Amino acid sequence: MDHDSDMKVYEIRAAVLRQRGGPLKIESLQMEGLREDEVLVRLVASGICHTDIDFVDAWAESDEALVLGHEGAGVVERVGKSVKRVKRGDPVVLSYQSCGHCRRCQSGNPAHCQHFYEANFGFQRLDGSNALHRSGVRGHFFGQSSFATHSLATERNLVKVSKNLPLELLAPLGCGLQTGAGTVMNSLKVAKGASLAVFGTGAVGLAAVMAARLVGAEPIIGVDIRPKRLKLALKLGATHTIDNRRQDVMAVIAQITGRGVDYVVETTAHPEMHRLAVEVLNPRGVVALLTGESGTDSLPEGRKTVGIIQGDAVPQQFIPKLIKLYRAGKFPFDRLVKFYAFMDINRAMADARRGGTIKPVLRIRKDP
């Protein structure tokens, strides 16, 4: 039987954070068996996202030890009694968690879940329990804590995928790529011919660039301080790039467009870039803040800033859509990915910090 809620305790391996700034150490932990609504996933790979790195840097001495990771991909090993949509052996990609019960979840907007913060950043289940408590470590980050050999997810943050693509490649779709592409396609609904600038050409920004090309935006202006990334942005769909260490962003955007842009996708979280984003905006233009802010701020002449979470994507719909686009050669996100062995997690994080690697993906176990 593969669907009874079990009383078992699993021995897992996970990268544990016990020190501000890292390093993470791979340790053996005890994980409680799954609840009725949970799915035990054996992880094949996990992307590393900047939010993971932010948590490593923000960890305080008074905090408990944590297992991070929120771009997991793996194979279903066991399902709880009430789980209907997946079964043992199914390949899955993990995404953000939502409660499933609140008004916004019920109306199909899980990215606006009223319990979004607790479900993703609470390091516990919504009922306050923690499957890693025996080891004195907190998990359930984004409903997954995927820097581990095994993860407990639910149907709400798990997406069944087809077997024809390597699972390890699909891991980063669950957060960063979904956020960048979803912002352009779902949140802003950028139309053909609209002008757009992307501030910061990391994984999220480059996903926005690829999506902007898909919907026919023009011009698509990539702004970054790293020439190598700007070069890649041009290959992925940017029509222009600006190196904001050497060039005056406002002047160059005015030169390209004759005025300003209809949209700015701001991924850098630098206050100065936020200010600049507003300044280069056309009347009725929108700045999408992919920097953790929420809510809408109205500005003169119909301009506004909008805080966006997970690109307003419903993972079970949007991730298969991105996979389809990838297969059609229209969303070549594989060009952002560099693979690392799980044990090299600290090197992968260091490379991402320095900007040498755009999207590190950890290989945790071989795809069966």
Q: Which stretch binds Zn ion (CB under 5 A): 23-31, 175-183, 252-260, 283-291?
A: 175-183
Q: Which of 99, 161, 242, 348 binds Zn ion (CB under 5 A)?
A: 99
CB of 327 to Zn ion, least distance (A): 24
CB of 142 to Zn ion, least distance (A): 8
Q: 82 with 37: CB under 8 angstroms?
A: yes
DSSP symbol at 21: T
Q: Which is nearer to Zn ion, 99 or 352 (CB)?
A: 99
Q: Which of 56, 175, 209, 217 binds Zn ion (CB under 5 A)?
A: 175
Q: Is the peptide bond before 91 cis (omega within 30 degrees of 0)?
A: no
The burial class, CB within 10 Å (0-12 / 13-18 / 19+), for 292 is: exposed
Q: Which stretch binds Zn ion (CB under 5 A): 98-106, 195-203, 209-217, 333-341?
A: 98-106
CB of 288 to Zn ion, least distance (A): 16
Q: Which stretch binds Zn ion (CB under 5 A): 101-109, 151-159, 215-223, 321-329?
A: 101-109
What is the DSSP track for 225-267? Answer: S-HHHHHHHHHHT-SEEEETTTS-HHHHHHHHHSS-EEEEEE-
| Residue 198 sits in the site that holds Zn ion (CB under 5 A) | no
What is the DSSP track for 143-176? Answer: GT--SBSEEEEEGGGEEE--TTS-HHHHGGGGTH
How many residues touch Zn ion under the rule CB under 5 A: the total is: 8
Q: Which of 102, 225, 250, 256 binds Zn ion (CB under 5 A)?
A: 102
CB of 265 to Zn ion, least distance (A): 15
Q: 213 with 234: CB under 8 angstroms?
A: no
3-state secondary structure of 19: coil
Q: Which stretch binds Zn ion (CB under 5 A): 146-154, 168-176, 189-197, 343-351?
A: 168-176
Sign of CA dihedral 220, 46, 144, 55: negative
Residue 64, CA distances (Å) to 18, 70, 240 in order: 7, 18, 46
Residue 84, CA distances (Å) to 36, 142, 150 in order: 11, 21, 20
Q: Which stretch binds Zn ion (CB under 5 A): 19-27, 28-36, 93-101, 131-139?
A: 93-101
Q: Is the peptide bond before 23 cis (omega within 30 degrees of 0)?
A: yes
Q: Which is nearer to Zn ion, 41 or 113 (CB)?
A: 113
The mark string for 108-137 relative to Zn ion (x by CB under 5 A, - otherwise) is: -----x------------------------
Segment 18-57, which members bind Zn ion (CB under 5 A)? 49, 51
**77 token code pair:** 């090993």
Q: Which is nearer to Zn ion, 51 or 201 (CB)?
A: 51
Q: Which is nearer to Zn ion, 98 or 151 (CB)?
A: 98
Q: 262 with 195: CB under 8 angstroms?
A: yes
Q: Which is nearer to Zn ion, 120 or 241 (CB)?
A: 120
Q: In the complex, which residues of this chain contact Zn ion (CB under 5 A)?
A: 49, 51, 98-99, 102, 105, 113, 175
